[in-house]
Amino acid sequence: MTTTTHDQHFVRYIELADEIAMSKIAAQLAQVFTSGVVYLVGGLGAGKTTFTRAWLHAKGHIGAVKSPTYTLVEPYQIKGQSVFHFDLYRLNDPFELELMGIRDYLDDRNALLLIEWPQKGEPVIPAADLQLTLQIADDDITRQLKIEALSPFGIAALTDLKCDSLQKHIPESIGLEAHK
Ligand SMILES: Nc1ncnc2c1ncn2[C@@H]1O[C@H](COP(=O)(O)OP(=O)(O)OP(=O)(O)O)[C@@H](O)[C@H]1O
Ligand SMILES: [Mg+2]
């Protein structure tokens, strides 16, 4: 863990009371972060796919966003941009990604990659610009969201992110340990 993790410029903690609140923050992120790599971290049912669905709809995707649990990746073309939604939960070996042609996706500098279960894809997947960690609160509905900026792109996006519900208090419960 580095000290920047606790710097207000590089991390945001937001409490999401329901799916509507989640959709709103996903739409705000979609505006300030248009291309690059986003990791979505959190346990089963934490809301990673729900977050991605709201993000893609906010970008202008019309239609379903299904979980790529078995296909590992679902590609989209949204307003001329390539968007790739990964779910690596069932990936047995990260090097399978090479066989799937992940390098081709990475060649597209304008692409947006949203990656669920990124820890299963290391070290083959590209480094994240943003890492989102979702945790289910005791009421089973509220989600605690931690947004970390891990590159200059990510920092620029987080600096531009306006959110009313931004929490100054850093809860101890959301640690980096969860995805290491
Ligand atoms: N505040 C909330 N925000 C998001 N989802 C919520 C919220 N409250 C309840 N839910 C429900 O939690 C579930 C989240 O499921 P989702 O598939 O998005 O999780 P996931 O993190 O992608 O899980 P997996 O690791 O299995 O892919 C959905 O059924 C959603 O309706
Ligand atoms: Mg999912």
Closest CA to 97 of 109, 108, 86, 112: 86
* Spacing, Cα 40 to ligand 2 middle (Å): 9
Confidence of residue 7 (pLDDT cuts 50, 70, 90): low
Helices (H), ranges, the chain: 19-32, 48-59, 96-99, 102-107, 152-160
> Token match 């966003």: residue?
65
Ligand 1: residues within 6 Å at CB? 16, 18-19, 22, 42, 44-50, 67, 87, 89, 116, 141, 143
CA distance linking residue 152 with residue 72, whole number of Å:
28
Residue nearest to atom 26 of ligand 1 (CA): 44
Burial (0-12, 13-18, 19+ Cβ within 10 Å), 93: exposed
Per-chain mean pLDDT for the chain: 88
CA distance linking residue 91 with residue 70, whole number of Å:
9
Instruction: Tell me which of 50, 66, 73, 134 to substitute to probe ligand 1's pocket, judged by most ligand atoms within 8 Å of the beta carbon.
Output: 50
For the full predicted model, state whether its pTM sits above 0.85: yes
Instruction: Tell me which of 14, 40, 41, 49 to substitute to probe ligand 1's pocket, judged by most ligand atoms within 8 Å of the beta carbon.
Output: 49
For residues 153 and 106, the model is more confident at: 153
Residue 118 has pLDDT above 90, yes or no: yes
Confidence of residue 9 (pLDDT cuts 50, 70, 90): low
Percentage of the chain lying above the pLDDT 90 cut: 75
What the chain holds in terms of domains, given with CATH numbers, is: 13-166 (3.40.50.300)
Q: What is the mean pLDDT of residues 89-94?
A: 95
Confidence of residue 173 (pLDDT cuts 50, 70, 90): low
Confidence of residue 163 (pLDDT cuts 50, 70, 90): low
